């Protein structure tokens, strides 16, 4: 925890007794066949296109989620004039939150315990549709119906940008309550903050 400072020809080190690490987090993808087809994107990317650039990222969308953020993505898509065909919630028993309750009133079907199985491109090399599947166990799923769509937004969770904290001795551990990795065992003087 030192910052080199050059004064004249001598190198001085400044050591901090306390460091707040607020480096944010990165949205995580899910892996399925065709997850790199243009039209498959992170939910936060679709929201940036809508909110910052007034760009509608697609016409017919499916949202895959494992947290309340995916429901916010679906609501933003609806507000932008995108037809949301379904929300696939990877959780067996999704927790209700204000965003999921708001989406319930729109008539968008929410399929709990479902995930994208594969995505395929059309002749223009962009997303033409997906096949969904029901999750049948840990790491197991059964392929199901096809949905024709040109946008699949994935919002399943985040991983802390923990590189600096880990260099200082902190560890990443899975937190089942959050459903994602979180910083743990931070050395004395290291204080993680934010996401």
Q: What tens digit of pLDDT does each residue of 115-144 get? A: 999 999 999 999 999 999 999 888 778 889
Lowest mean pLDDT among 29-43, 77-91, 135-149: 135-149
Instruction: Tell me what pLDDT residue 5 has.
Output: 60
Q: Looking at residue 33, what DSSP letter applies?
A: B
Angstrom distance (rounded) from CA 152 to CA 41: 6
Which pTM value belongs to this model? 0.84
According to DSSP, residue 164 is labeled H
Determine the average pLDDT of the residues in 173-188.
85
pLDDT given for residue 119 in this prediction: 97
pLDDT of residue 181: 86
Beta bridge partners of 191: 20
């Amino acid at each position: 925890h030192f910052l080199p400072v050059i004064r004249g020809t001598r190198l001085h080190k400044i050591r901090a007794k306390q460091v707040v690490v607020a480096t944010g987090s990165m949205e995580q993808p899910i892996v399925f066949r065709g997850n790199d087809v243009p039209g498959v994107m992170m939910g936060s990317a679709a929201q940036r296109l809508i909110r910052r650039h007034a760009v509608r990222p697609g016409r017919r969308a499916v949202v895959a989620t494992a947290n309340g953020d995916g429901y916010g993505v679906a609501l933003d898509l609806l507000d932008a004039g995108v037809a949301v065909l379904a929300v696939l919630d990877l959780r067996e028993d999704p927790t209700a939150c204000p965003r999921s309750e708001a989406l319930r009133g729109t008539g968008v079907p929410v399929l709990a315990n479902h995930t994208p199985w594969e995505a395929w491109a059309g002749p223009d090399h962009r997303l033409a549709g997906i096949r969904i599947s029901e999750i049948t166990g840990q790491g197991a799923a059964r392929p199901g119906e096809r949905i024709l769509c040109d946008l699949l937004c994935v919002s399943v969770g985040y991983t802390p940008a923990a590189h600096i904290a880990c260099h200082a001795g902190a560890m990443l551990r899975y937190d089942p309550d959050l459903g994602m990795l979180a910083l743990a065992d931070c050395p004395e003087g290291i204080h993680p903050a934010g996401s």
